[in-house]
Amino acid sequence: MSRPVATPSPTDPEHIAETVRTWLHEADRVLITSGAGLSAAAGYDYDDSARFKELFPALHRLGLRSRYLVGMPLPPALLWGYWAVHIDDIRFSAHPNPLYQQLHSLVGKTDHWVMTSNVDALFARNGFDPDRVFTPQGDYGRFQCSIPCTRTTWDSKPLVDALLASYDPATGTITDPDALPRCPHCGADVQINVRIGPEFVDDSYLPALRGLQDWLRTTPTDARLLVLEFGAGFSTPGVIRYPGEGIARRFPKARFVRVNPDHPEVPADLGARALPVHSSAAQMIDMVRRATPDPCPTSSPQY
């Protein structure tokens, strides 16, 4: 007689880790989806007030306490001082990130893609194939005309380096007015190539979108696709959270894992194919790495 299928308890870390590891082992394909929670767990927390004070003392003196709050109008010299330091810290750090590397190791050679709202390129910088990472919200590594007068975007590294060369940490400003960036085509203001408003130029990200769509279209209907979501909450649920759920629904044998310390709830219609993990990405990845696979897991859905 077969044993009944047990739904893993969100409060049973060892059982959950073994289940996720087994689902990874059994997956034909893996789609990793992620929001800000993954990078926060990796050490890039936009709410980190201590790190904010360390990097942006001038803005801290103005009463700001986190990077999320730097949305108020600022003088150009102060605004670009912020952007230069922020992007250099988040996007162009040369140090490898252990959490992203551990995630890459867990996926291994299984056929996989990534869809992330994060604009820090941490996937591509830590072993994931850049051509298989779709970033619908853009990338700090590029900038664009603010109008925009052209669909062309440009590498932001030379811009950041030039800004940092005239950056004054005491005032938080760019001291050389000539270093403030202008559009090389029309002379208008420029902005980082991330989705702020309708002026966002997404052309650089469309090839990855088409690649992901092709990959999903060629995924067999009966494939064991694992959708593995990290840190995607309700700030912009239409970018990562809801699309991931929808993809899992398209494949009858797909499994869905949602890792979130605040909102791990999974859709009821996915039943035993969905697993809520009430923890940070770092805690979950560490648990799965340490787990011993169960050759006959009672928590796996019966197909």
Q: What is the pLDDT of residues 130-163, one digit of tens each?
A: 999 999 999 999 999 999 999 999 999 999 999 9
CA pair distance 298, 290, nearest whole angstrom: 19
Query: Tens of pLDDT along 236-250?
Result: 999 999 999 999 999
**Residue 67 maps to a domain:** yes
CA pair distance 59, 17, nearest whole angstrom: 42
- Please determine, for residue 193, whether its predicted confidence score (pLDDT) is greater than 50: yes
Query: Tens of pLDDT along 87-101?
Result: 999 999 889 999 999
Whole-Å CA distances, 87 to 77, 135, 205, 286: 15, 16, 19, 28
pLDDT at site 299: 41
Residues 158 and 250 in one domain: no
Residues 186 and 284 in one domain: no
**Residue 298 maps to a domain:** no
Residues 143 and 274 in one domain: no
Rg for the chain, CA atoms, rounded: 21
CA pair distance 166, 159, nearest whole angstrom: 11
Residues 89 and 50 in one domain: yes
Residue with tokens 């050759």: 295
Query: Which residues constitute the domain of residue 87?
Result: 45-93+139-194
Task: Indicate the SS3 state at residue 30.
Answer: strand
Q: Which of 126, 159, 194 is the last residue before a domain boundary?
A: 194
Which pLDDT band, with edges at 50, 70 and 90, does 293 fall under? low
**Residue 32 maps to a domain:** yes
**Residue 7 maps to a domain:** no
Which pLDDT band, with edges at 50, 70 and 90, does 230 fall under? very high
pLDDT-above-90 percentage for the chain: 87
- Please determine, for residue 303, whether its predicted confidence score (pLDDT) is greater than 90: no
Instruction: Look up residue 12 and give its DSSP letter.
Output: -
pLDDT at site 79: 95
Residues 126 and 143 in one domain: no
Sign of torsion, CA 32 36 39 41? negative
**Number of structural domains in the chain:** 2
Q: What is the mean pLDDT of residues 268-277?
A: 97
The CATH number given to whatever domain includes residue 183 is 3.30.1600
CB within 8 Å of 296: residues ≥ 6 apart: none
CA pair distance 214, 207, nearest whole angstrom: 11
Residues 110 and 250 in one domain: yes
Kindly report the number of other CB atoms within 10 A of residue 4's CB atom. Answer: 7
Q: Which of 194, 221, 241 is the last residue before a domain boundary?
A: 194
What is the b/e burial string over 219-234, where b = at least 16 CB atoms within 10 angstroms of the residue's CB?
A: beeebbbbbbbbbbee
pLDDT at site 292: 58
pLDDT at site 13: 82
Q: What is the mean pLDDT of residues 54-60?
A: 96
Residues 285 and 166 in one domain: no
Residues 219 and 86 in one domain: no
**Residue 4 maps to a domain:** no
The CATH number given to whatever domain includes residue 113 is 3.40.50.1220
What is the b/e burial string over 262-280, where b = at least 16 CB atoms within 10 angstroms of the residue's CB?
A: eebebeeebeebbbbbbbb
**Bridge partners for 155 per DSSP:** 142
Residues 71 and 163 in one domain: yes
Residues 144 and 277 in one domain: no
CA pair distance 97, 91, nearest whole angstrom: 12
CB 248 within 8 A of CB 254: yes
> What is the average pLDDT value for the chain, to the nearest integer?
92
CB 290 within 8 A of CB 19: no
Count of all residues that appear for the chain in the document:
303
| 169 vs 300, more confident | 169
